[in-house]
Amino acid sequence: MPGEGHATPIVWDSSVFIVSPDENRDIQLLCFDTRTGQRRWQQQLGEGNRAQGRNNMASCSPVTDGHAVWAMCGTGDLAAFDFSGQKLWATNLSNGRRFAIQWLYGSSPLLYKNRLYIQVLQRADDANGHPSYLLCLDPETGRQLWRHERKTDAQGESQEAYTTPMPSEAGGRAEILVLGGDYVTAHDPDTGEELWRGGGLRNSRALSSSRLVPSPVVGAGLVFVSGAKRNPLLAFHDGGSGDVTESRLAWKYTEYPTDCVTPLFYQGKLFEFDGDRQMLVCLEPASGKPLWQQEAGVREVFRASPTGADGKIYCLSENATVVVFSAADGKVLSTIKLEEGMTHATIAAAQNSLFVRTAKSLYCVGN
């Protein structure tokens, strides 16, 4: 790879797409052949890559519908390309100024029912004023369809989030879920109108440095959301209205909550991975009851989210160590040390293969 990036690779047929900085500090969208690893093309997405803490400008994963691919980077540059690499349109959402996010922007776009959704959850309490919002674009042209300003009473860094919006269709009603600023909110996909809001994501309102990283997860008619700084994992019944903090709370889990890792809903179970204490827990979705828990056996920090495939759960550490668990009982099946620098990209599974992005390389592993 031309530089260190944390975007997860995405796969469609024989193409794998990934965002990465290059040696000139430009951010590129690259396309590789899934069968050979040969680079088909690369196109510049933005310029001015920089790093802050564990993040840089190449942390947003692209999306595709099989005809076009949309990619964004931390500079606010967003563009659409066809599968030959031709740029279809491009725009910049930051309006010439940086997003007010301490550790740089890291949310990925959502493509849902021929609409492109972008969330920007940032700090508004400075002299310039940076409101948080959910944006809906026409994916064919980049034209703005609507922009909903998302309100919160969170303070300081708690207004910021690195989560990605998620769709839900519980009860036959489509919703776009947004997690950050101390709340999970559900929005009408056609207008952006807020339908419901759930709080209780942290135990102490006095804790200001509570940015949110794990994205919301949907399954079994529930919305699963993780609090910041390993505050409780909450489950809400979907499809409510107004403030559902108490009225639609199904359960909370407190023993091994995550800080940065998005939970996994796989084979009808919910898997929570505490990346700081290297503990994978399998939960019964309806009740939150732990069914089993298993240590990874690797004393490394995990920031990438777990991937479920082939009855297994794949976890990738910051040091590029892959731990493979059995999804049935949590048994550690194998541990592979790649040792290729700081790694945060989640493993992608497609075509009976795994696509693993480290700080230095993109691997395809399969039969």
Three-state DSSP string of the chain: CCCCCCCCCEEECCEEEEEEECCCCEEEEEEEECCCCCEEEEEEEEECCCEECCEECCCCCCEECCCEEEEECCCCEEEEEECCCCEEEEEECCCCCCCCCCCCCCCCCEEECCEEEEEECCCCCCCCCCCCEEEEECCCCCCEEEEEECCCCCCHHHHCECCCCEEECHHHCCEEEEEECCEEEEECCCCCCEEEEECCCCCCCCCCCCCECCCCEEECCEEEEECHHHCCEEEEECCCCEECCCCCEEEEECCCCCCCCCCEEECCEEEEEECCCCEEEEECCCCCCEEEEEECCCCCCCCCCCEEECCEEEEECCCCEEEEEECCCCCEEEEEECCCCCCCCCCEEECCEEEEECCCCEEEEEC
Q: Which listed CATH number (1.10.260.40, 2.40.128.630, 3.40.630.30, 2.60.120.10) goes with 264-367?
A: 2.40.128.630
Taking a C-beta distance cutoff of 8 angstroms, is the pair 224, 201 a contact?
A: no
Above 80 in pLDDT, residue 289?
yes
Give the mean pLDDT of the chain. Answer: 93
Query: pLDDT-based confidence at 206, cuts 50/70/90?
Result: very low
Above 90 in pLDDT, residue 367?
no
| Segment 71-114, tens digit of pLDDT | 999 999 999 999 999 999 999 998 777 888 889 899 999 999 99
Is the pTM for the entire model greater than 0.85? Answer: yes
Above 90 in pLDDT, residue 127?
no
pLDDT given for residue 97 in this prediction:
77
Taking a C-beta distance cutoff of 8 angstroms, is the pair 59, 46 a contact?
A: no
Query: Residue ranges of the domains in the chain?
Result: 264-367
Above 60 in pLDDT, residue 204?
no
Above 80 in pLDDT, residue 129?
no
| Segment 28-50, tens digit of pLDDT | 999 999 999 999 999 999 998 88
Query: pLDDT-based confidence at 171, cuts 50/70/90?
Result: confident
